[in-house]
Structure 1
Amino acid sequence: MHDLILHHYPSSPFSEKIRLILGAKKLPWKSVHMPAILPKPDLVALTGGYRRAPVLQVGADIYCDSALICDVLEHIRPEPTLYPPHLKGVCRIFAQWADTSLFWAAMGYNLQPRGVAHVFGKASPEAARAFGEDRKAMSANMVRLRPGDATSAYRSYLRRIANMADEHDFLFGIEPCVADFAAYHGIWYTRTQVPVLADILNTTPSVGEWANRMEAIGHGAMTALTPEDAIALAAAAEPQPPGSNLLIDSAFQDDHGFALGSRVTITAEAFGNEPTEGELIAATRTHYTLSRQDARSGAVHVHFPRIGYVLRAAAPA
């Protein structure tokens, strides 16, 4: 199998989720840093438009969205499992809640004016302004919580997580599962990126103890790779045919009336609405795969989860 290449940036919460899973599964990986804001020409050469972090590259196969990346890593190394058999449904549902409701409450709290001032305390006003404009454009289709509302929701969610952390070392038992990694990353941002706001955690000490256990997992064996080298590796590789890649479900499921081979676009439902266009070569119960060509990366297959993404017919050429 090709190396696991993670395209990410250090302060990305969803990237921290995957970095910890790589550490928990003791999978060696290559680290490619992307910019936090557009333009991202090296990433887009692989994805065709998708710009969120993280993205996992395995040869010429490109996996978008941390939820899908979790499935890929589980297939590569099933133990320790992210999805305990007796908790498979509930831990996935919890993780989806944590990646959405909990995350946006946490970030609405984290990026209130005092948090932003801390994050950009050593940056130029232009850099802070550019970041704000970039995130405003990414969330154009979203209703974002105001800081006061986000703070209220975050406090409530922390108390609920504390109820779970009071009972076990991890949220559903003695070992971490996908629910822990999904719940942790927004809290990680509070603790590590905006420590001036971390006093919100003081009323739920069991959450802090659980977060310490999560942090101790670490990121595993990582080596740095340049974006140019990652693109060259994609260009030198052949994408895997549907059904033989790291997404093992392959039965076609048509919910849109698009035949395989159709020209389509895939876009995130809400945050980050840059479309990726290509030929639809897989549409299963869990994911979509697009085949596309790029002048730099050559032929690649770009994979998305069904949940959280919108499939449309591409505009006529």
Structure 2
Amino acid sequence: MPDLILHHYQNSPFSEKIRLMFGFKKLAWKSVLIPPVMPKPNLTALTGGYRRTPVLQVGADIYCDTALIADVLERVAPSPSLYPAPVTGLARTLAQWADATLFWTVIGYVFQPIAIPHLLGPLTPEQMKAFGADRAAMRGNAPRMTAQEATGNLKVYLRRLDDMLADGKRYLLGAQASIADFSVYHCMWFIQLAQPLAGILDDVPRLKDWVARMAGVGHHQSEMLSAERALEVARDSTAAETRGFPFVDTHGVALGERVSIMPTDYAFDPVEGELVISADNEFAVRREDPKAGRVVVHFPRIGFQMKKI
């Protein structure tokens, strides 16, 4: 099997979610560090425009969004499972809530002036301005939750999560870790990164112990890889077979037609290509790039929209 190549940056919470999954499944991986703000020319060559972090590359297959990346890692290493029975559906639903509602609440809480240097490192005023402009464009200029609202909401969510760990449960849904634990964890990890504000976790001791237990999973074995080498890997590889996915048509678009795919919530950067997968849980398009060659870019169905060109 080709190497698992993660395109990420160190302080990305969603990247931490996947890095910890590598540790959970004991999967060796290659690390390509990308800029936290646009432009990202080498990543764009692979994705065709998708700009959110992280992205998983497996040869010439490019996987976008951590929900789909988790499914890919599950196929590569089914055990231990991210979706243990009988809580599979509940785990996926809780993970979706954490990746959206909980995450944006945490963002509103941690991006206070006292914590920003801990999240972004020392930045010049020009760099800070560039970061703010980049994230505003990424959100489509939608307003962010105020710190006051985020603080109040976050305290409620933390108590609820703490309650889920009552009766000595090791993980949120029982004795086994699941996708829900990794999705909630990356939000807690980001709170801890915002050191001056991390004391909010002191009021939820069971949850704080769980955070330490999750952190102990680690990232397993990684090796640095240059962005240029990752592009060479894509050019020298052939994407995996796409004909094994049952065709699910909800758009009146046939395989082989040109489409654009982009998120439904933020970072509305469309990726255009030839539709090669339209499955119950996944879209994928084939596209060509002078740097990356012919690649297949994959997206989860939930959270993304497809339009015929």
Whether these two folds match at TM > 0.5 is yes
**2:130 alignment counterpart:** 130
Distance in 2 separating the partners of 1:216 and 1:240: 34
**2:288 alignment counterpart:** 293
**1:178 alignment counterpart:** 179
Alpha-carbon shift at residue 145 of structure 1 (Å): 1.4
1:274 matched to 2:250: no
Q: 5+ unaligned residues in a row in structure 1: which ranges? A: 245-249
The CA deviation string for residues 221-266 of structure 1, in whole angstroms up to 9 with x for no partner, is 000000000000000001112145xxxxx11111111111111111
Distance in 1 separating the partners of 2:114 and 2:26: 37
CA shift in 2, pair 1:62/1:120, >3 Å:
closer
Is the deviation greater in 297-306 or in 193-202?
A: 193-202
**1:6 alignment counterpart:** 6
1:58 matched to 2:53: no
Give the conservation status (yes or no) of the 8 Å contact 1:91–1:179. yes
1:67 matched to 2:73: no
**1:216 alignment counterpart:** 216
Q: 5+ unaligned residues in a row in structure 2: which ranges? A: none
Distance in 2 separating the partners of 1:112 and 1:175: 35
Alpha-carbon shift at residue 149 of structure 1 (Å): 1.0
**1:238 alignment counterpart:** 238
Distance in 1 separating the partners of 2:298 and 2:117: 36
**1:94 alignment counterpart:** 94
TM-score with structure 1 length normalisation?
A: 0.95
**2:104 alignment counterpart:** 104
SS at match of 2:265: coil
Give the conservation status (yes or no) of the 8 Å contact 1:15–1:54. yes
Alpha-carbon shift at residue 313 of structure 1 (Å): 1.9
CA shift in 2, pair 1:162/1:223, >3 Å:
same
Distance in 1 separating the partners of 2:88 and 2:142: 29
The CA deviation string for residues 145-189 of structure 1, in whole angstroms up to 9 with x for no partner, is 111111111111100100012331111122211000000111101
Give the conservation status (yes or no) of the 8 Å contact 1:266–1:277. yes
CA RMSD of aligned residues (A): 1.2
Distance in 2 separating the partners of 1:213 and 1:166: 15
Distance in 2 separating the partners of 1:64 and 1:141: 22
1:260 matched to 2:261: no
**1:308 alignment counterpart:** 303
SS at match of 2:86: helix
1:251 to 226, 246, 250: 246
CA shift in 2, pair 1:243/1:28, >3 Å:
farther
Give the conservation status (yes or no) of the 8 Å contact 2:84–2:176. no
Distance in 1 separating the partners of 2:194 and 2:103: 15
The CA deviation string for residues 89-117 of structure 1, in whole angstroms up to 9 with x for no partner, is 00000000010001110111011232225
SS at match of 1:113: coil
Give the conservation status (yes or no) of the 8 Å contact 1:20–1:218. yes
SS at match of 2:298: strand
Give the conservation status (yes or no) of the 8 Å contact 1:141–1:271. no
CA shift in 2, pair 1:259/1:84, >3 Å:
same
The CA deviation string for residues 107-133 of structure 1, in whole angstroms up to 9 with x for no partner, is 110112322254356221111111111
Is the deviation greater in 265-274 or in 53-62?
A: 265-274
CA shift in 2, pair 1:224/1:204, >3 Å:
same
TM-score with structure 2 length normalisation?
A: 0.97
Distance in 1 separating the partners of 2:102 and 2:128: 25
Alpha-carbon shift at residue 143 of structure 1 (Å): 4.7
Residue 172 of structure 1 aligns to which amino acid in structure 2? Answer: L
Give the conservation status (yes or no) of the 8 Å contact 1:141–1:270. no
SS at match of 1:85: coil
Residue 181 of structure 2 aligns to which amino acid in structure 1? Answer: D
Q: How many equivalent residue pairs?
A: 308
| Identity value in percent | 47
